[in-house]
Amino acid sequence: MSVSVSVPETAAVAQPRRAGLVGRVAGHYLVRRIAKAIVTVWLVVTLTFFLIHLMPGNPIDAYITQQITQYGMSYAAAKAQAAALFSIDLNRPLPLQYVDFLVGLVHGDLGRSLVNTGTPVSTEVLQYLPWTLFCVGVGLLISFTLGSALGMLMAYRRESALDHVLSAAGSLLSSIQNYILATLIIAFLGVQWNLVPFAQMRGTLSPGITAGFSLGFIGDAFYHGALPITVYVLSTIGTWMLTMKSSTIGALGEDYVTVARARGLPHRRIVSAYVGRNAILPVFTQLAITIGFAIGSAAPIEQVFQYQGAGFLLLASISQRDYTVMQAIFMIITASVVLSNLAADLLYGKLDPRITLAGHGGGE
């Protein structure tokens, strides 16, 4: 005896529809890019974790060396003090430490500082990170705005004396490392000519100033951040000038500009609606990528000026072998770089509809 079971047609069709929906979602360009970004961050964080722990020395050795060199303690006394201060199991297998790190990361726990015993890493990072964001953010805003304007001016006045002077200045500034500029400012403006009170401008705030939305706090923050901001502007403005000049010259040679001129459109409209809008596209994408490298690029400047931002904290944690703080800052740098590249990719597609249409048409 045979029994036949009839399956409703709607049930038979539902599964392929669900599979098709999942396939479309998984194959969507944005979903694939986000998944790729997450995997990239995980791979870099994993590699960084093992490289940090394979560095020569450890927090205990760094502390013992510091006590001996700075305070003249004997090795035995310094070792005993380090044993009482640090609760670190250096013999724990590294793979197990990595698993503990990932479990804590999933739960939003970055661990605790090995040097500042008991202090959560998140608390320590959040204490320094805003100052770097403030300093780099202001400097990047000034350099990008001024550099883009000068780049367009150089393109419209190319082969003139102004173009030659600005091009030479932009090439010179873009070729000098930021920490060299910072050192030169200290050596000449601070030491030789005594024009800048460098000793008073060290740190992030003056004693007695509390954070808050007041003119006193804002003015003091800009006072202490003036030198790092100046160095960041000088070290990046040349790149924006040359990039915008090249992009503007390329846009001026396009056919749509020639057609616009033939139609008798006003010069101001051609500059803003045709040349400027298209010339700024590669500069905007480069801006998004530059934001991702903000913390790493600020570290040498903060070290020279003793400006207590995230870069300053990173260099201090490296010298002290504070593994947990190093891991947290490197993870923030990695995530910011990957996300900025993702943002640049998506931003270019939004700013230039031709890129979006080409991506969809190509199966992206």
Q: Is the pLDDT of residue 146 over 90?
A: yes
Give the phi and the psi of residue 112 in degrees, each rounded to 5. Answer: -125, 150
Indicate whether 87 pLDDT > 70: no
Residue 355 above 70 pLDDT?
no
Q: Tell me the per-residue pLDDT of 234-267, one tens digit each, with 9 for 90 and over.
A: 999 999 999 999 988 888 777 777 777 777 777 6
The pLDDT value given to residue 7: 47
Sign of torsion over alpha carbons 345, 350, 353, 356: positive
Q: Contact, 284 vs 351, CB < 8 A?
A: yes
Give the pLDDT confidence score for residue 1 in this predicted structure.
47
How does pLDDT run across 100-142, given as a tens digit for each residue? 889 988 888 888 888 887 789 999 999 999 999 999 999 999 9
pLDDT at 351 over 90: no
Question: Which tens digit of pLDDT belongs to each residue from 151-180?
Answer: 989 988 888 999 999 999 999 998 988 989
Q: What confidence category does residue 67 fall into, taking pLDDT thresholds of 50, 70 and 90? A: confident
Instruction: Look at residues 186, 205, 177, 199 and name the one whose alpha carbon lies nearest to residue 300.
Output: 177
- Cβ distance 145 to 233 under 8 Å? no
In the chain, what are the domain boundaries? 31-106, 121-361
Where is 227: in which H helix or E strand? helix 215-252
From first CA to last CA, the distance across the chain in angstroms is 53
Model confidence at 341, pLDDT cuts 50, 70, 90, reads confident
pLDDT of 343 over the 50 cut? yes
* φ, ψ at 118 (rounded to 5°): 90, -10
Task: Indicate the pTM of the whole model.
Answer: 0.80
Q: Which fold has domain 121-361?
A: MetI-like fold (1.10.3720)
Cα distances (angstroms) measured from residue 200 to each of 66, 180, 185, 226, 346: 27, 21, 15, 12, 44
Q: Which of 6-15, 25-34, 218-227, 345-354 has the lowest mean pLDDT?
A: 6-15
